């Protein structure tokens, strides 16, 4: 039975380290400062890439329900919020002084309090291990090149060419177009808004 290789964060760190000629690690729990820097670089690229909003981490009309005090606390893995076609608020994420968690704020009515469920477009953050494989591969190559430039300060040690990085990015875009419901109308009951795939927008990401 065939098995599919799953790129772990440890494997990604080792790829980054090998890119500058360093020996592989057996675990991420190490005192090796380069390991911590490599892991941090993965997290940086992971956050930046997911913030763009993709099919796998974006939901339309996601329900946010007020608590008994009429506040809506925002989960830590929310990268961004936006209104949908049916929204009546101007949503932003803010953290009031003296509270632990960020809350939903309506810029239109200048309030943190809501009487009803708010349906918003949300972009979620996922840990590296939970990402689609094509995203993990691109993040690893991108992080490897950035790490080599920052840690060593020389482009000469970079093993991954700009062309390889561009090809990995293209694979991400191909996955996006295959997974997305582009050029399909969904009715209001489905809770999805109409999306149109524009090649120019995809290329300029």
| 195 phi/psi in degrees, rounded to 5 | -120, 140
Query: How high is the pLDDT of residue 135?
Result: 98
What's the whole-model pTM score?
A: 0.82
Please tell me the distance from the alpha carbon of residue 205 to that of residue 190, in angstroms, as a whole number: 28
Closest CA to 157 of 4, 17, 25: 17
DSSP secondary structure letter of residue 184:
B
Query: How high is the pLDDT of residue 100?
Result: 93
Query: How high is the pLDDT of residue 5?
Result: 74
Query: How high is the pLDDT of residue 151?
Result: 76
For 17, the token pair is 């380290």
Exposure on the CB side of residue 47, measured as CA atoms within 13 A? 10
Query: How high is the pLDDT of residue 162?
Result: 79
Query: How high is the pLDDT of residue 181?
Result: 62
The residues, any chain, with a CB within 8 Å of residue 192's CB and separated by 6 or more, are: 60, 61, 181, 186
The residues, any chain, with a CB within 8 Å of residue 136's CB and separated by 6 or more, are: 7, 12, 128
Q: Which residues pair with 118 in a beta bridge?
A: 64
Closest CA to 18 of 144, 165, 161, 146: 144
Longest dimension (CA), the chain: 59
Can you give the pLDDT of all 205 residues of the chain as single tens digits? Answer: 444 678 999 999 999 998 888 889 998 876 788 889 999 999 999 999 999 999 999 999 999 999 999 999 999 999 999 999 888 999 999 999 999 999 999 999 999 999 999 999 999 999 999 999 999 999 999 999 999 888 776 555 566 677 889 999 999 999 999 987 654 444 433 444 434 333 334 434 4
Query: Is residue 64 classed as helix, strand or coil in its secondary structure?
Result: strand
Query: How high is the pLDDT of residue 187?
Result: 42
Sign of the CA dihedral with 195 first, then 199, 202, and 204 last: negative
Query: How high is the pLDDT of residue 159?
Result: 62
Query: How high is the pLDDT of residue 180?
Result: 79
């Amino acid at each position: 039975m065939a098995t599919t290789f799953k790129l772990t964060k440890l494997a990604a760190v080792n790829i980054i380290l090998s890119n500058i000629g360093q020996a592989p690690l057996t675990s991420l729990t190490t005192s090796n400062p380069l390991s911590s820097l490599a892991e941090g670089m993965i997290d940086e690229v992971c956050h930046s890439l997911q913030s763009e909003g993709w099919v796998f981490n974006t939901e339309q009309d996601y329900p946010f329900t007020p608590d008994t005090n009429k506040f809506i606390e925002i989960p830590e893995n929310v990268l961004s919020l936006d209104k949908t076609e049916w929204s009546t608020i101007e949503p932003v994420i803010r953290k009031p002084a003296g509270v632990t968690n960020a809350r939903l704020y309506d810029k239109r009515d200048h309030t943190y309090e809501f009487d009803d469920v708010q349906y918003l477009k949300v972009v979620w953050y996922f840990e590296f291990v939970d990402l689609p494989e094509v995203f993990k591969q691109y993040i690893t190559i991108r992080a490897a090149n950035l790490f080599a430039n920052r840690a060593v300060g020389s482009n000469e040690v970079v093993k991954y060419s700009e062309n390889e990085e561009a090809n990995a990015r293209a694979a991400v875009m191909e996955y996006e177009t295959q997974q997305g419901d582009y050029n399909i109308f969904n009715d209001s009951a489905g809770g999805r808004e109409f999306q149109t795939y524009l090649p120019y927008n995809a290329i300029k990401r």
